A and B are shown apart, each in its own frame.
Chain A
Amino acid sequence: MKETLLSNCERDFLLQAIAEKKRLDGRQTYDYRKMKITFGTDYGCCFVDLGKTRVMAQVSCELVAPKESRPNEGIMFFNIELSPMASPTFEQGRQSELSVKLNRQLERCLRNSKCIDTESLCVVSGEKVWKIRVDVHVLNHDGNLMDVASIAAITALCHFRRPDVSIQGDEVTVYSPEERDPIPLSIYHMPISVSFSFFQQGTYLLVDPCEREERVMDGLLMIIRKNNSSLIEKVKDVKPAPQGA
């Protein structure tokens, strides 16, 4: 479905309200919406709600051959699905700009920050390693998908348990959850992203924009940090000026 255009009245109203330091839902500039994290029945399944934005993450694993350039490391694979459930504008084919952007940002957030110890995922060097796959499904889009997706992904990874493996000479035995308790992944730290949206050429700033605020913003700055200490990444994204502004 085509995206419904935002009327000029609504755009002007939002910008005027932001100029007067008011937000649609009554939040302050740095307020986050109410967050709720619940877990599913499987290991590695979690739901994160931020206001009305809802995201589900599921982690799964399988044994594969490692990449030739890195025979000692496991493989991480991330995928964000913008389900058509989230918004009538999302289509089933994944080529949309937003989908590519979110996928790239999630990769930067989780892969570059080296939050998972990939060497511990190695079973037999050069032959068998664990491939950890994180699928993030966006169930409802009410703004700030990136923050929610990063929280859901890292929470699901912390919740996930992989099957226990034992190696005897050349034989590798993978135990089912009934035989031996599954083992958690070794995670160094939890990278969380915080999104700042800018309005009126940078005069005003809002944290955690909702969907309407995202439509009228000029640009978005995402900062990914871990544990209140070092900065990991900074991602800037500026939207082209709206026609006829």
Chain B
Amino acid sequence: KISIPDILTPAGDTSVLAAAYGPAEVKVSKEIYDRATLDVLIQPKVGLPSVRERAQEQCVRETCEASLLLSLHPRSSLTLILQLIHDDGSILSCFLNAACMALMDAGLPMSFLFCGVTCAIDVDGQIITDPTAAQEKESRAVMTFAIDSKEHKVMMSSTKGSFSVNELQQCVAVSQKASEKIFQFYRDSVKRRYSKIL
């Protein structure tokens, strides 16, 4: 179940390359007796991974661990590598989408799929989905949500900036609606990829 790096998720200009390896042998120091160990590695374009990448890895890992059936592969390792190709805003949701598609393509058992949606609230209070880097800089708050495919609930949220509770709820609603489009895109791309083989 090794996925060769082939998943390139572009969102406007932002693009990320994802690769999933596993289940494979795990180092004894990292092994967990009843579950697989998931490692997420985010590689930036220039330089070595820093604290920012670690924080993003944490968000992606928590989401993946929630959706993967890790108990089916005890004492094994699953590695997910995300390479940043170009960052023009909404990078965390791009990582999440690429991660989900890589895991799906690798055939790793999951209880549901997930997608990432980024919303930004600009100075006028308007909600923009999938903001570009320029829009993110101008906005008052930027939020990323991971939404699951079964019940469209929020699995993970990462927010930056100031906003009210009302605005948060509005953003969640907008993200849930947007997630439907992303799941449809997943279905279409998988169909396109495997229609040549089947």
> Which A residues are closer than 8 A to B by beta carbons?
1-2, 40-42, 45, 52, 54, 56, 58, 60, 81, 83-86, 88, 92, 133, 135, 137, 139-140
User: What are 30 sample pairs from A and B whose C-beta atoms fall under 8 A apart?
Assistant: A1-B21, A1-B24, A1-B25, A2-B25, A40-B85, A40-B86, A41-B13, A41-B86, A45-B85, A45-B86, A52-B4, A54-B5, A56-B83, A56-B85, A58-B45, A83-B43, A83-B83, A85-B5, A85-B19, A85-B83, A86-B5, A88-B2, A88-B21, A88-B24, A92-B41, A135-B46, A135-B47, A137-B43, A139-B17, A140-B4
B46 touching A58, Cβ below 8 Å? yes
**What DSSP secondary structure best describes chain B's contact surface?**
strand
Answer whether residue B38 sits at the interface, using C-beta atoms and an 8 A cutoff: no
Answer whether residue B81 sits at the interface, using C-beta atoms and an 8 A cutoff: yes
Answer whether residue B79 sits at the interface, using C-beta atoms and an 8 A cutoff: yes
B46 to chain A, nearest CB (A): 5
CA gap between A177 and B27 in the complex, in Å: 47
| B residues in contact with A58, CB < 8 Å | 45-46
> Which B residues are closer than 8 A to A by beta carbons?
2, 4-5, 13, 17, 19, 21, 24-25, 41, 43, 45-47, 77, 79, 81, 83, 85-86, 88
CB-based nearest B residue for A142: B4
A4 to chain B, nearest CB (A): 10
CB-based nearest A residue for B43: A83
CB-based nearest B residue for A47: B85
| B residues in contact with A45, CB < 8 Å | 45, 85-86
A133 touching B21, Cβ below 8 Å? no
Most buried by B among A54, A56, A86, A137: A137
The 10 closest A-B pairs by CB, nearest first: A85-B81, A85-B19, A88-B21, A85-B5, A60-B46, A58-B45, A84-B81, A1-B24, A41-B86, A135-B46
A195 to chain B, nearest CB (A): 23
A84 touching B85, Cβ below 8 Å? no
| B residues in contact with A86, CB < 8 Å | 5
B46 touching A81, Cβ below 8 Å? no
| A residues in contact with B86, CB < 8 Å | 40-42, 45
B186 to chain A, nearest CB (A): 21
CA gap between A140 and B5 in the complex, in Å: 7
